[in-house]
Amino acid sequence: MSDLSAFAITQKWPAQHPDRLQLYSLPTPNGVKVSIMLEETRLPYEPHLVSFDSDDQFSEAFLSLAPNNKIPAILDPNGPDGKAQALFESGAILLYLADKTGQLLPKSGPERYETIQWLMWQMGGVGPMFGQLGFFHKFAGASYEDKRPRDRFATEAQRLLGVLDKRLEGREWIMGNEYSIADIAVFPWVRGLVTFYDAVELLGFERFGNVKRVLESFLQRPAVIRGLNIPART
């Protein structure tokens, strides 16, 4: 049995199955990227809920593994060279899991780097811009009388949806016929934009037909259905 006692995070979230990969997360757009990936690859794992309601993300235990105080984070007892591997940042975790399992990312060649390109596009654009729009459209920023911040992020969200819609023209998934970590990274954010952030009318989402089509396909995948609710909220 693996010994994870050297990692402080296990004091707050004890591992019942220390031989499995440990996931510390919450079902947000960034969080479910990893739970979906784990469900798609069927890699054994144990989820732990990081509750924002109790500020778990700021606890010393969580910061010992994820110093940027953002979910998700993982602790893999079976890392490279047989040593435990801790990681934060959802994009880095997707790359790690893809390489570990040999799934959802080409091992070499142009397609590998093109897939990573779209992963970086999500990390650098879609996530930050969609998140800011959510703040100014639905959350605390919605009460601001000055709507210029909201409109600025709405315009950028529309631009990004346009980029994605054009990419998906004639394609089943972002990389063509092959489902990949690029889709796992992007579509939880698209789902959040049109459901949780209630931005369908604001963005005119219906005109992005290819995005809508692929989002529907994404949400029908059994692993996605399971992963969207992991870890379960209490």
pTM: 0.97
- Residues 6+ positions from 117 with CB-CB distance below 8 Å: none
List, edge to edge, every strand of the sheet that includes 21-25: 45-49, 21-25, 73-76, 85-88
Q: E strand or H helix at 93, and its extent? A: helix 90-101
pLDDT in tens, the chain (234 residues): 478 989 999 999 999 999 999 999 999 999 999 999 999 999 999 999 999 999 999 999 999 999 999 999 999 999 999 999 999 999 999 999 999 999 999 999 999 999 999 999 999 999 999 999 999 999 999 999 999 999 999 999 999 999 999 999 999 999 999 999 999 999 999 999 999 999 999 999 999 999 999 999 999 999 999 999 999 987
165 vs 195: CA distance, rounded Å: 18
